[in-house]
């Protein structure tokens, strides 16, 4: 039997929650991947098992440093993660790499795509690389990077590196689940700051100017000055933290040690000032809100007549037949009326 065939058999196997938990705790990468596929699923039977699994691993979660990495396409995020990950491993740490990709349904974005395989990092025993869900959460995969992270933490990973893929809402999603937000900047032409959305500058904790070499060192220094000036106009996210702007090359492994130090310094500061816990509590609340919406929408969609009403009211809203908020209210009222009559019917049985 070929290895491919064995892998196929393995992929189609079902595992009990206990088997998955044991695999996660032993650091079995195949079973970790299986567990992640389970929490990514929107199917209701999978959700039941996923919740059961997450409940058991919960006591083993929360101990990692969660790092978000953003930057325009081609800024060098994957290259950075590959070498930064190896640096952390050489410091005795275990590293998991995830991606947040709200647009993956469209561009099949994957951090294991042809361009960047993170080949060297992938060979490391102490690294785990998970591409973003291939069908995107509009196509049925939920926004579960947070839950995926919990599984990686239960498996003992010390650093979780999350790459934003695509542009737009991914930065907000990643900032909402990480402890430190790193912005990779490349030196552009002329009007340096135009490309930087103010929103990103408000979220960022550490800036790394990438692709710096002897030829463009002066330009990089100018970019650094401009960034620093821009930062002066932005209210600080964390008191007592001056956002460092570092220079280097992800490809040539230059300046990454400094980033590693700054990240750890930032985490230490947050822990000392209780901000670390405080922010994590806020993030957990946001996850709660996300899942309330997710489960309510799921319940609605399982009920055909409700789904029809949903489509109808949405159509009215988009055609501006009436105010979208009015349509939403009408729809929710109908949903509540229907679910009350369903529960009355079941009481009568
Ligand atoms: N010269 C130079 N090239 C670099 C450096 N870092 C990355 N690159 C190159 O830039 C290109 C894009 O790098 P990636 O790491 O794929 O960038 P990315 O930000 O992950 O790109 P997307 O995932 O497509 O958004 C690759 O060809 C890298 O080899 C660097 O420090 N110097
Ligand atoms: Mg990439």
Instruction: Report, as an integer, the average pLDDT of 163-176.
Output: 79
Yes or no: say if 79 and 46 are a contact pair by the CB < 8 Å rule: no
Q: Name the residue with the closest Cα to ligand 1, atom 8.
A: 76
Domains and CATH numbers, the chain: 60-275 (3.40.50.300), 282-348 (no CATH)
How do residues 15-59 score in pLDDT, each as one tens digit?
Answer: 999 999 999 999 999 999 999 999 988 888 898 999 999 999 999
pLDDT per residue as tens digits for the range 234-288: 888 898 999 999 999 999 999 999 999 999 999 999 999 999 999 999 999 999 9
**C-alpha of residue 125 to centroid of ligand 1, in Å:** 24
What residues flank ligand 1, with Cβ below 6 Å? 71, 73-79, 115-116, 165, 210-211, 249-252
89-133 pLDDT tens trace: 999 999 999 987 665 444 444 444 444 568 899 999 999 999 766
Nearest-CA residue for atom 10 of ligand 1: 76
Minimum CA distance residue for ligand 1 atom 7 = 76
Atom of ligand 1 nearest to the CA of 109: 23
38 CA distance to ligand 2 centroid (A)?
25
């Amino acid at each position: 039997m070929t290895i491919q065939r064995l892998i196929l058999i393995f992929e189609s196997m079902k595992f009990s929650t206990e088997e998955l938990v044991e695999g996660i705790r032993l650091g079995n990468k195949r079973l970790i991947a299986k567990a992640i596929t389970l929490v990514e699923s929107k199917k209701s039977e999978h959700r039941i098992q996923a919740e059961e699994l997450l409940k058991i691993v919960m006591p083993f979660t929360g101990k990692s440093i969660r790092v978000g990495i953003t930057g325009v396409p081609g800024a060098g995020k994957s290259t950075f993660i590959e070498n930064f990950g190896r640096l952390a491993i050489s410091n005795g740490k275990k590293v998991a790499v995830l991606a947040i990709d709200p647009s993956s349904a469209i561009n099949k974005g994957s951090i294991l795509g042809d361009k960047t395989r993170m080949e060297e990092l992938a060979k490391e025993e102490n690294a785990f690389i998970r591409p973003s869900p291939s069908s995107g959460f509009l196509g049925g995969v939920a926004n579960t990077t947070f839950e995926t992270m919990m599984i990686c933490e239960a498996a003992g990973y010390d650093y979780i590196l999350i790459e934003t893929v695509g542009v737009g809402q991914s930065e907000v999603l990643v900032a909402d689940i990480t402890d430190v937000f790193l912005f990779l900047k490349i030196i552009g032409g002329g009007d340096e700051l135009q490309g930087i959305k103010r929103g990103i500058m408000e979220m960022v904790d550490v800036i790394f100017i990438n692709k710096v070499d002897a030829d463009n060192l002066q330009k990089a220094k100018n970019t650094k000055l401009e960034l620093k000036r821009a930062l002066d106009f932005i209210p600080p996210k964390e008191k007592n933290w001056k956002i460092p702007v570092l220079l280097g090359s992800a490809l040539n492994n230059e300046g990454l040690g400094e980033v590693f130090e700054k990240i750890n310094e930032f985490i230490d500061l947050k822990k000392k000032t209780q901000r670390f816990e405080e922010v994590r509590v806020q993030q957990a609340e946001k996850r709660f809100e996300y899942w309330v919406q997710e489960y309510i929408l799921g319940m609605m969609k399982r009920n055909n007549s409700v789904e029809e009403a949903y489509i109808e009211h949405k159509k009215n809203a988009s055609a501006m037949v009436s105010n979208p908020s009015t349509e939403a209210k009408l729809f929710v009222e109908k949903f509540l009326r229907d679910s009350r009559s369903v529960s009355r019917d079941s009481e009568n049985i």
